[in-house]
Amino acid sequence: MLDLEASGICGTDVHFHDGTLALDPGCIIGHEFVGRVRALGEGVTGDGLGQTLAVGDCCIACIALPCGTCFCCRQGETASCLSFGVTNAAPAAAPPHFHGGYAELLAQPAATLVRVPADVSVAAVAAFACAGPTCIRAFAFAGDLRGDELVVVQGTGPVGLFAVAWAAARGCRVVAIGSGNSPRRLQMAARLGATLVLDYRSVPAAQRQEQVRELAADLGRGNGADVVFEATGAPGALPEGLELLRTLGTYIVPGQYSSSGAVAIRPELITFKALRIIGSGQYKLGDIGTYLAFLRQSADLQQDLAACVTHRYPLAQVNQALADVAAGTCVKAVFVP
């Protein structure tokens, strides 16, 4: 059993709330729970990554329960399990009742917990508890970064901001495209390492493409970005992503996390530019370990990431919190005790 330290409000929760993602009524949503161990089950001494676990330790709780036996799980690709379970799908009426992250307590199998190192700040952990591992898995599927790439990140929500931080920390040149409606997010993208931040509402698409192409030419990278990372969740971002890439570029698409309609693309760009398009929807428990190791690299980085938690709410203000997240006024919002 875990006591709430911070529980993130995710864009996915907004989709549940507005009905674009289906949900069984009667369960507790929330999948970004960071909590402190109040009690351990009998005989439990370790977390899901085999690290020791004791009462008082801080943990990230991962809701994913890969089946372990399907075709993908047998290849070790548990992030793409064909029959995923989630720990927060059980109705709250069923014991032990506290299955979901929007709560002060969470009853969670120890095998789905990852202990947070003592020298990592809870705010930094909570800022990207879901977005961080999501990004890390998506980059891993794409072969990760070498460090000399020009990376364009579409979207400056938590997934996009973490992608900026990850790519910049590797030495990549990063361009972030976000919305001027959320100026704090644009500022945060610059703080996390984007050297060029474009507001898509004030800089027209043709100009954005020209700026990216000029930058690519200056860096000697060819006719566009090496990597475009889609983190807007808006289908309309895809046609532009294909345009921004250089020949032999890679489009990483982990952001389309709801059924938000169709969009027309120019498929000939995929052929003529020999593009790679890499999708990614979930992450493995080990990606949480990678995320925490990344945070441990530097106190400055932790401070910058923690600064992304701009809104804190008690659980009683759940409707306000969801409305603020839907409106994009927060960089990251979390519930706190």
Q: Which of residues 219-248 bind Zn ion (CB under 5 A)?
A: none
**81 near Zn ion (CB under 5 A):** yes
- Specify whether the CB–CB gap between 240 and 266 falls below 8 A: no
Q: Which of residues 125-184 bind Zn ion (CB under 5 A)?
A: 130
Question: To the nearest whole angstrom, how small is the minimum distance from the Cβ of residue 162 to Zn ion?
Answer: 11
Q: Which of residues 274-333 bind Zn ion (CB under 5 A)?
A: none
Question: To the nearest whole angstrom, how small is the minimum distance from the Cβ of residue 243 to Zn ion?
Answer: 29
Comparing CB distances to Zn ion, the nearer of 73 and 138 is: 73
Which residue among 6, 64, 73, 106 contacts Zn ion (CB under 5 A)?
73
Question: To the nearest whole angstrom, how small is the minimum distance from the Cβ of residue 311 to Zn ion?
Answer: 15
Question: To the nearest whole angstrom, how small is the minimum distance from the Cβ of residue 158 to Zn ion?
Answer: 8
Q: What tokens appear for 98 in the block?
A: 């506290």
Comparing CB distances to Zn ion, the nearer of 67 and 315 is: 67
**65 near Zn ion (CB under 5 A):** no
Comparing CB distances to Zn ion, the nearer of 81 and 325 is: 81
Nearest of 171, 144, 128, 145 to residue 10 by alpha carbon: 128
- Specify whether the CB–CB gap between 125 and 60 falls below 8 A: yes
Residue by residue, DSSP assigns 154-221 as E--SHHHHHHHHHHHHTT-EEEEEE-TT-HHHHHHHHHTT-SEEEETTTS-HHHHHHHHHHHHHHTT-
- Specify whether the CB–CB gap between 19 and 13 falls below 8 A: no
Q: How many residues bind Zn ion (CB under 5 A)?
A: 7
Which residue among 67, 234, 326, 336 contacts Zn ion (CB under 5 A)?
67
* Helices 183-191 and 158-169: angle between axes, nearest 10 degrees: 20
- Specify whether the CB–CB gap between 136 and 166 falls below 8 A: yes
Q: Which of residues 1-20 bind Zn ion (CB under 5 A)?
A: 10
Nearest of 333, 236, 25 to residue 17 by alpha carbon: 25
Q: Which span sits near Zn ion by CB under 5 A: 58-66, 216-224, 255-263, 294-302? A: 58-66
Q: What tokens appear for 294 in the block?
A: 């990344």
Nearest of 95, 112, 88, 97 to residue 30 by alpha carbon: 88
Q: Which span sits near Zn ion by CB under 5 A: 76-84, 146-154, 289-297, 302-310? A: 76-84
Question: To the nearest whole angstrom, how small is the minimum distance from the Cβ of residue 71 to Zn ion?
Answer: 8
Comparing CB distances to Zn ion, the nearer of 70 and 336 is: 70
Question: To the nearest whole angstrom, how small is the minimum distance from the Cβ of residue 323 to Zn ion?
Answer: 18
Question: To the nearest whole angstrom, how small is the minimum distance from the Cβ of residue 279 to Zn ion?
Answer: 17
Nearest of 110, 128, 67, 179 to residue 287 by alpha carbon: 128
Q: Is 226 helix (H, G, I), strand (E, B) or coil?
A: strand
**62 near Zn ion (CB under 5 A):** no
> Which residues bind to Zn ion, rule: CB under 5 A?
10, 66-67, 70, 73, 81, 130
